[in-house]
Amino acid sequence: MNIRGIILEGYSNAGKTSLLRAIKKLQSQDETAENSVIVLGEHYSQVLNNVQGSYERLSREDHLQLLRSRVDMIKQLNDWAVYLGPHARKSRGLFYVLERFHLNHRVAFAGEDDASEIAVLEADLAALGAKCVLLTISPEVTEERIKSRVPSAWFDKAEAEVRQACEELLQTQEQCRIHAQLSAVPTVEINTDRKNWDELARIILDQM
């Protein structure tokens, strides 16, 4: 049975949500594409969440359990499609998009000795046709991209604070690159400096 998935990873401000919307739109316009689509934004899988106005960070164990529940859901749906038989057309396959998933976990809990557990989950993702897209930005556009999300929040920030935020973004990007090389999920890195979301969505879907 046909199944394919895209996992969008990258630091905040890299363009994950914008690209997710572009992928959804483009896939829906393809008459030969899958009718069954699962799209989960970062609020369904990330480590840090805004819960009733307060930020709460999941523990390593809780986050692994959360990711496992999402993967098991996709696996169960695919198992049902396999049970129905191989005669189905591509349009009856399954397409899914996940935002902030296994690399987010690896970076957040680096050094906490859960490599074997996340590796099993990644192997399951790879078996379910997942490909990871790591979104990155260049150092020279970092400040502009950070400030563009909520300009008013940065209006009176000290230069040192802005510089620290930029350095944190670039350091996290580098950690994502390192962990992507360790992951069982095939990963491609895409630069989003130009914010050309429709073009990037087309490239990604063509490569799937």
Indicate which CATH number applies to the domain containing 193: 3.40.50.300
Express as a percent the part of the chain with pLDDT over 90: 71
- How far apart are the C-alpha atoms of 20 and 15, rounded to whole Å? 8
Domain that holds residue 8: 3-207
Mean pLDDT of 170-178: 95
CA distances from 142 to 74, 75, 158 (A): 35, 37, 16
More confident residue, 138 or 87: 138
Higher pLDDT, 50 or 29: 29
Q: What b/e sequence results for 47-64 when a residue is b if at least 16 CB atoms lie within 10 Å of its CB, and e otherwise?
A: beeeeeeeeeebebeebb
Nearest-angstrom CA–CA distance, 7 and 126: 11
Neighbour order of strands in the sheet with 3-9: 36-40, 94-99, 3-9, 130-136, 187-191
8-state DSSP, 47: S
Number of domains in the chain: 1
For residue 88, the model assigns a pLDDT of: 54
Whole-prediction pTM value?
0.92
Confidence of residue 1 (pLDDT cuts 50, 70, 90): low
Nearest CA to 15 out of 109, 121, 137 is that of: 137
What is the band of 90 on the pLDDT scale with cuts at 50, 70, 90?
A: low
